[in-house]
């Protein structure tokens, strides 16, 4: 089978023209210890507090205790597939959950995913799992408004 140099160079030029670099830098680590819903991960040096971490089995955890060489991760899944040697990658996002009035009366897991069998839930926004509680004055105003609204609705 003989090929002409022009054909080969044409193929190479077409491949170079359509080439897209897909280099993706991700910081990964390895589970070195698991027990009581906590995984100890080595190798994730730039992790931030409350960051969402993804395990190689598709489950998630939240970075808790940041140390020089290791990170303690609270497991947010009931899967028991996480073992020593499991790979963990950073997501770069703080753990947050979807919120909204559509969640009232629904049963969700730690990540806000429905587990009651009633289908997906439309969220109106997200909130970090760990956030400051509203101040006392703000809570009193909200309580007063909700009482006034409920009186209006019952009249």
17 φ, ψ to 5°? -65, -35
Q: How confident is the model at residue 24 (pLDDT cuts 50, 70, 90)?
A: low
Verdict on whether the full-model pTM lies above 0.75: no
The pLDDT value recorded for residue 14 is: 82
* pLDDT averaged over every residue in the chain: 84
Q: Quickly state the pLDDT bin for 72 (edges 50, 70, 90).
A: very high
pLDDT above 90 (res 155)? no
Cβ atoms within 10 Å of 28's Cβ, excluding its own = 14
pLDDT tens for 104-139 read: 999 998 888 899 999 999 999 998 888 887 787 776
Integer Cα distance of 52 and 4 in angstroms: 54
**Is it the case that residue 75 has pLDDT exceeding 90?**
yes
Is the pLDDT reported for residue 1 higher than 70?
Answer: no
The percent of residues in the chain predicted with pLDDT above 70, rounded, is 84
Count Cα neighbours of 26 within 13 Å in the Cβ-side half-sphere: 14
pLDDT for residue 40: 96
Domains of the chain: 26-94 (2.40.30.20), 96-149 (no CATH)
- Nearest CA to 53 out of 69, 75, 34 is that of 75
- The rounded distance, in Å, linking the Cα atoms of 62 and 17 is 42
pLDDT of 81 reads: 83
């Amino acid at each position: 089978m003989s090929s002409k140099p022009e054909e080969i160079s044409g193929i190479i030029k077409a491949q170079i023209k359509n080439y897209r670099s897909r280099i993706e830098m991700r910081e990964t680590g390895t589970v070195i210890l698991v027990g009581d819903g906590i995984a100890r991960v080595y190798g994730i040096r730039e992790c931030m507090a409350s960051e969402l971490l993804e395990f190689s089995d598709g489950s998630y955890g939240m970075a808790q205790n940041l140390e020089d060489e290791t990170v303690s991760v609270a497991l947010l899944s009931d899967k028991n597939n996480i073992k020593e040697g499991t790979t963990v990658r950073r997501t770069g996002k703080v753990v947050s959950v979807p919120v909204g009035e559509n969640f009232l009366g629904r049963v969700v897991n730690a990540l806000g995913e429905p587990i009651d069998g009633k289908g997906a839930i439309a969220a109106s926004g997200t909130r970090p799992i760990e956030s400051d509680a509203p101040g006392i004055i703000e809570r009193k105003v909200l309580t007063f408004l909700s009482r006034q609204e409920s009186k209006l609705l019952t009249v």
